[in-house]
């Protein structure tokens, strides 16, 4: 399987890993992570439409945040887990689509991310290997770079939001923004200026998410205090 992985700041020479990931990631795993993100974009496109009618989507944003968190460097290298998560994502996506149709929401022409079908591991591997779902699927370099910059932003936000949620702190506005931004990366009508504005908005929500995590940590564990610790090796060998 050919590899082009540009999922993090560790990419080889700042251009992308083409043989094996600098993190040790294999080509097939990188492709599955691309498809995981692609699946979440499809869910998000439908989620934005659900927002427009005020539809309750309990658990949807937490699923998206968990899926994004899985793709962060060195977080999860379990291919079987990605197979299962992608299947789960498509099941959730299609359930959401059916609920929107039931409510007579005009879906219009949906992106491939919101409509593609896979029924087996072989089909998942084929779709993941397709140029349609990876970084290089966007031909315009400026648009591609901005889409990826935004994606990195909410990957980081997902890590912070996941940790905060584990401590019982959650802000629905953050999940709603991540859905909006994910869906926007599918929108070919957006210009460079539009995506620059979205990048800045991503930064703003990134700060909000860090503040949420700080609140979760300090409320749970208290404020950090300067503390003296013994860093000597005593009678032990040291490096």
Query: What residues does each domain of the chain span?
Result: 15-221
The CA–CA distances, whole Å, from 60 to 44, 92, 134 equal: 9, 8, 23
Per-residue pLDDT averaged across 206-231, rounded?
Answer: 94
Q: What is the pLDDT of residues 60-115, one digit of tens each?
A: 999 999 999 999 877 788 899 999 999 999 999 999 999 999 999 999 999 999 99
Is the pTM for the entire model greater than 0.85?
Answer: yes
Instruction: Out of 22-36, 89-103, 174-188, 213-227, pick the least confident.
Output: 22-36
Class of domain 15-221: mainly alpha
pLDDT given at position 173: 95
More confident: 238 or 23: 23
Q: What percentage of the chain reaches a pLDDT higher than 70?
A: 99
Report the Cα 215 to chain-centroid distance in Å.
23
pLDDT given at position 167: 97
Neighbouring-strand partners of residue 17: 5
31, two tokens = 């492709």
Which residues, 6 or more positions from 50, have their beta carbon under 8 angstroms from its beta carbon?
57, 96, 99, 100, 105
> Please, what is the average pLDDT of the chain?
91
Which residues, 6 or more positions from 96, have their beta carbon under 8 angstroms from its beta carbon?
43, 46, 47, 50, 57, 60
Which residues, 6 or more positions from 159, have their beta carbon under 8 angstroms from its beta carbon?
69, 72, 75
Range list of β-strands (E), 109-178: none
Q: Which of 94, 46, 98, 38 is nearest to 68 (CA)?
A: 38
Helix (H, G, I), strand (E, B) or coil at 72: coil
> Sign of the CA dihedral 136, 137, 139, 145?
negative
150 and 181 Cβ atoms separated by less than 8 Å: yes
Q: How many helices (H) and strands (E) does the chain have?
A: 7, 0
Q: How confident is the model at residue 1 (pLDDT cuts 50, 70, 90)?
A: low
pLDDT given at position 159: 94
71 and 37 Cβ atoms separated by less than 8 Å: yes
Residue with token string 């993941």? 128
Helix (H, G, I), strand (E, B) or coil at 17: strand
pLDDT given at position 24: 82
């Amino acid at each position: 399987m050919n590899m082009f992985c540009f999922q993090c700041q560790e990419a080889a020479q700042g251009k992308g890993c083409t043989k094996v990931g600098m993190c040790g990631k294999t080509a097939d795993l990188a492709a599955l992570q691309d498809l995981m993100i692609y699946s979440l974009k499809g869910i998000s496109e439908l989620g934005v439409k659900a927002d427009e009618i005020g539809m309750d989507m309990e658990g949807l944003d937490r699923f998206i945040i968990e899926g994004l968190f899985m793709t962060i460097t060195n977080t999860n290298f379990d291919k079987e887990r990605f197979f299962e998560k992608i299947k789960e994502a498509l099941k959730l996506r299609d359930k959401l689509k059916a609920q929107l149709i039931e409510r007579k929401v005009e879906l219009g022409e949906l992106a491939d991310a919101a409509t593609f079908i896979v029924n087996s591991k072989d089909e998942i591997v084929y779709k993941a290997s397709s140029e349609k779902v990876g970084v290089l699927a966007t031909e315009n370099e400026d648009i591609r770079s901005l889409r990826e910059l935004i994606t990195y932003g909410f990957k980081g936000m997902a890590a912070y939001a996941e940790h905060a949620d584990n401590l019982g702190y959650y802000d629905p506005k953050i999940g709603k923004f991540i859905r909006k931004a994910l869906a926007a990366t599918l929108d070919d009508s957006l210009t460079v200026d539009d995506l620059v504005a979205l990048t800045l908005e991503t930064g703003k929500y990134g700060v909000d998410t860090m503040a949420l995590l700080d609140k979760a940590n300090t409320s749970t564990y208290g404020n950090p205090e300067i503390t003296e610790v013994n860093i000597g090796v005593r009678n032990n060998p040291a490096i």
